[in-house]
Amino acid sequence: MASNIIHHNIALEIRDDRTIDSIQEEFAKEFPYLKLEFFTRTNSIANPNFKKIVKHNSKFIRECRTIHNNGTINILPNMSIATLEQNFKTEFGLSVQVLRKSGKVWLETTLTNNWSLAEQNRQGEELSMGHSG
């Protein structure tokens, strides 16, 4: 049976001098069965919307965003994945995607991005029960 994880509102500070992994760790403390994946836009003229995953999480935020505002992104447990991803993009020029743990693998939440963060995390916990990883 899944445990009842109490979720709180969290405020992630976004600044150019923060590393990607520091933001991922803060997010994971509250949502351990979810993962924030960061993408960087390429400057390709052939495909300007192409994004590639940031492989080195020790990179600074300034290296993968298009809007260099400093500020705080408020994350609420009842917020949908789609809203969170859009807020990162519009407020800070960051392309992120939320992944959900399923056993030993991380799955995209594209088909369920209207679910809340709390629901996604609960589903990830249930799918990961009995798996070590």
What pLDDT shows up at residue 2?
A: 46
What mean pLDDT is reported for the chain?
84
Residue 39 lies inside a defined structural domain of this protein:
yes
Residue 100 lies inside a defined structural domain of this protein:
yes
Average pLDDT over residues 49-74: 80
What pLDDT digit, counting tens, does each position of 109-131 carry? 988 999 999 999 999 999 888 65
Compute φ and ψ for 129, nearest 5 degrees.
-60, 135
Q: How confident is the model at residue 44 (pLDDT cuts 50, 70, 90)?
A: very low
Question: What is the CA 33 to chain-centroid distance, rounded?
Answer: 11
Question: Structurally, how many domains does the chain consist of?
Answer: 1
Average pLDDT over residues 17-34: 95
Residue 4 lies inside a defined structural domain of this protein:
no
Residue 45 lies inside a defined structural domain of this protein:
yes
Residue 101 lies inside a defined structural domain of this protein:
yes
Q: How confident is the model at residue 63 (pLDDT cuts 50, 70, 90)?
A: confident
What pLDDT shows up at residue 4?
A: 55
Can you list the pairs that 103-112 forms with residues at least 24 positions away whose Cβ atoms lie under 8 Å?
103/127, 103/128, 103/131, 103/133, 104/131, 104/133, 106/35, 109/81, 112/81
User: Where in the sequence is the domain holding 95, given as residue range(s)?
Assistant: 10-128
Residue 2 lies inside a defined structural domain of this protein:
no
Residue 54 lies inside a defined structural domain of this protein:
yes
Residue 3 lies inside a defined structural domain of this protein:
no
- Is 12 a residue whose pLDDT tops 70? yes
